Amino acid sequence: MASKHSSETITTTRHDAIVGFLEGERVPYELLEHEPVMSAIAEARVAGRPLDEVAKTVVLHDGSAYVIAAIPAADRLDVHKLRSLLGASRRLQLASEDQIARDFPSFEVGALPPFGPLVPAAEVIDPALMQQQRILCCAGDHRHSVLVDPRDIVRITTATIADICED
């Protein structure tokens, strides 16, 4: 696995926007390049990280706006908890791949980070992620991930920290 840091020059790709955003926000990060993966669990495996250190970005839609939630890779989002927390209607549901592809064309479907330009900021982060020093997040495509401090994510997104995983 190759690792690239902010000081290295990299070619223009989907993850460049994420890297540029993190640098602009003065967030320390490590960019990891790896074989293509299609899930947060597979991302953990190829990066050699425990599942509790890997964030799964869950994209929801209520008909008029998107909600972004970040939970540990092995957990499942409890939509009822999230609706209650946000005071959202029953219309809040998981976004379809078609919606994500249409409304976030700068990113590969399934590789949306919980922060960055052209992404609604994470609104809720599960407290289990906050127990980690660094967490691995998607970086916009299936071949790159970023390691960041979850407290920096909360700082740059003003996300709420709340239990949103199934019990």
pLDDT at 46: 97
For the chain, the domain total comes to 1
pLDDT (tens, 9 = 90+) of the chain, 167 residues, equals 444 433 333 335 789 999 999 999 999 999 999 999 999 999 999 999 999 999 999 999 988 889 999 999 999 999 999 999 999 888 899 999 999 999 999 899 999 999 988 888 778 999 999 999 999 999 999 999 999 999 999 999 999 999 999 99
Please report whether residue 75 resides in a domain: yes
Give me the residues paired with residue 122 across strands.
68
Q: Residue 166 falls within a domain, yes or no?
A: no
User: What is the residue whose two structure tokens read 């490590």?
Assistant: 30
Single-letter amino acid, residue 113: P
22 lies in which domain range? 2-161
CATH number at residue 119: 3.90.960.10
Check: pTM over 0.85? Answer yes or no.
Answer: yes
Give Cβ neighbours of residue 126 (< 8 Å, ≥ 6 apart): 69, 70, 71, 72, 75, 161, 162, 163, 164, 165
State how far the Cα of 55 lies from the Cα of 128, in Å rounded to an integer.
10
